[in-house]
Chains A and B, each alone.
Chain A
Amino acid sequence: MTDKELFDRTFLKMRASEDTLQEVYSVIERKESRAYSKRTIFMAAAVAVVMALSVTAFAAYSRWSPFLAEAFRVSEAQQSELLGLGITSFVGRSAESNGITMTAEQVIGDEYGCYVLIRLETDDPEVFSHKATPRIEVYLDDDASKQILEKWSWTDWMLESDSATMYIGCWTSGKSGHGITVTLTGLMGSSEQNYSNVWEGCANLSWNLSFNDDTTERYSVVSDKNTVAGPTIEYICLTPVSVCVYYDAKSVREFMTAEDYTLRPVSLTLDNGSKCDLSMSASRSTFISDRNDVEVYYMVQVSTEQLLPGGIKEVGISNGNEVINYRLVEAS
């Protein structure tokens, strides 16, 4: 039996409900735009109850973005916990310019920086056509100046026949912001609407994360062997969304640049014995305050549950020739 025959035999059993077509015709006859789902009907019936519980309703509205939850591997159970810690906040403010609406959806961060998820929506799908490769610049107004934000990832495109949505994730080292400017260059404009191929939107989308110091766990470490040269890890800080490695570089004979530190492979040994590499591309920043005091910050690469106290047993770091493992001994 071929793969195709096996798949046909298995998956052709899956059929839409018998009343699907009937429901569709019913909607068409009523001239409504869409069918009411069983879920929607249930929700309508429950609305009176939900209205009375406005706090609950707010919690449901302020739902984590699936993109951020996936990027930071935050389980559903942990979402409200992180919200309570002030690690994340829902901004939800919008501004419109030239037919494109920009919304800052959610911010997540710790003392090392924060990630902002921006949504751009338009009724003209041609603007974000997949043929276009827009260049994106995102600026943040903080108290002192305007800084360009690092684009952290494309999270998604959603193109439909009558609308298009684009998500942009950005990283900033600041904890707060007052306004965001997004400039898109190289858009595909439809001829009817005469879009410029440059779009700029600026909005007052303020946020401020209110986490306290308790969200950062600082661990002393003990290495499994003595090193003769190269930087050693002095201590490690874990937050629910990041790992920051602090180096002691007293024994380093040659001057190391920030990039040299970033390129050193770092891996985590988790509580269950599995290993996870912190990729250098996820390193967000390296600070060299002086030759002996260096810190490298990584976006979280494992489930936030595993970053909780006790979740990580060891940190391994390669100096090019060998991997030295550091055991986490105590939190302070």
Chain B
Amino acid sequence: MYNNDEFSGYAKKYMDMVFRIAFSYLKCQADADDVTQDALIRLYKTNKAFASDAHVKNWLIRVTVNLCKNVFRSPWYKNEPIEAYANTLQFEAQEDHELFSVVMGLDKKYSMVVLLYYQEGYSIREISSILRIPEKTISTRLTRAKAKLKTMLTEA
């Protein structure tokens, strides 16, 4: 278990990332906020010995995905229109708004891989290891996501 200063440092550093990943899975701001809180609480309580910051980050992503799966299975789960949340974000350019809508409009299995690859900068091998999904599957999802994004952004 961390002391408060250590925990606070990690929490501030990673909570927005956790939120983004949760939102890409659940497409619901309230549920993504709940998952973010739960993931941070798990980080505070864990006795796991982390080797590095990267290890903490990877562990948090894994826990976030698992928590999202639990929420997704809940009888009360319901996703919400992405645009309602997008309109609160005040993007600098219209293309940013379009990119957000298109990426978050993808199925969760695609949007999460896209975020981890492009935004968090993970390689296919690293995403495979974090999500515990075969590399080939991740690679296929990324290729399909790119094709979908290309089509959708051209149409937008």
Residues of A in contact with B (beta carbons under 8 Å apart): 3-4, 6-17, 20-21, 23-24, 27-28, 33-35, 37-39, 43, 60-61, 63, 65-66, 130, 156-161
Residue B147 is within 8 A (CB to CB) of chain A in the complex: no
Closest partner residue, chain A, to B119 (CB atom): A7
Q: Which residues of B contact A20 (CB under 8 A)?
A: 15, 19, 33, 36-37, 40
Of the four ranges (under 10, 10 to 19, 20 to 34, 35 or more), the interface on chain B belongs to 35 or more
Quick one: which of B74-88 are within 8 Å of A by CB? Answer: 75-76
Closest partner residue, chain B, to A12 (CB atom): B16
Contact status of A10 and B115, CB under 8 A, knowing A16-B36, A20-B37 = no
Q: Which residues of B contact A33 (CB under 8 A)?
A: 41
Residues of B in contact with A (beta carbons under 8 Å apart): 8, 11-12, 15-16, 18-20, 23, 30-34, 36-38, 40-42, 44, 46, 48, 62-63, 66, 69-70, 72-73, 75-76, 89-92, 95-96, 99-100, 103, 115, 118-119, 121, 132
Closest partner residue, chain A, to B36 (CB atom): A16
Complex Cα–Cα for A37 and B91 (A):
28
Partner of A39, one of B76, B92, B115, B118: B76
Complex Cα–Cα for A173 and B48 (A):
47
Given contacts A35-B34, A38-B30, 4 further A-B contacts (CB under 8 A): A10-B99, A20-B36, A24-B11, A27-B41
Complex Cα–Cα for A65 and B118 (A):
32
Across the interface, do B48 and A13 meet the contact criterion of CB distance under 8 Å?
no
Q: List 18 A-B contacts (CB under 8 A).
A: A8-B119, A10-B96, A10-B100, A11-B100, A11-B119, A16-B32, A20-B36, A21-B12, A21-B40, A24-B37, A27-B41, A28-B44, A34-B38, A37-B34, A37-B37, A38-B34, A39-B34, A60-B76
Across the interface, do B66 and A160 meet the contact criterion of CB distance under 8 Å?
yes
Across the interface, do B38 and A16 meet the contact criterion of CB distance under 8 Å?
no
Across the interface, do A157 and B33 meet the contact criterion of CB distance under 8 Å?
no
CB distance from A279 to the nearest CB of B (A): 17
Complex Cα–Cα for A157 and B19 (A):
22
Contact status of A37 and B31, CB under 8 A, knowing A14-B16, A160-B66 = yes
Contact status of A14 and B23, CB under 8 A, knowing A21-B12, A130-B132 = yes
Q: Which residues of B contact A7 (CB under 8 A)?
A: 99, 115, 118-119
Across the interface, do B41 and A24 meet the contact criterion of CB distance under 8 Å?
yes
Across the interface, do A14 and B34 meet the contact criterion of CB distance under 8 Å?
no
Across the interface, do B42 and A21 meet the contact criterion of CB distance under 8 Å?
no
Complex Cα–Cα for A65 and B73 (A):
7
Q: Which residues of B contact A13 (CB under 8 A)?
A: 89-91, 96, 100
Q: Which residues of A contact B19 (CB under 8 A)?
A: 14-16, 20
Q: Which residues of A contact B92 (CB under 8 A)?
A: 9
Complex Cα–Cα for A16 and B19 (A):
5
CB distance from B50 to the nearest CB of A (A): 12
Complex Cα–Cα for A35 and B46 (A):
16
Across the interface, do A35 and B119 meet the contact criterion of CB distance under 8 Å?
no
Complex Cα–Cα for A306 and B47 (A):
51
Complex Cα–Cα for A35 and B90 (A):
29
Q: Which residues of A contact B75 (CB under 8 A)?
A: 60-61, 63
Q: Which residues of A contact B70 (CB under 8 A)?
A: 158
Across the interface, do A11 and B73 meet the contact criterion of CB distance under 8 Å?
no
Across the interface, do A157 and B132 meet the contact criterion of CB distance under 8 Å?
yes
Complex Cα–Cα for A241 and B62 (A):
34
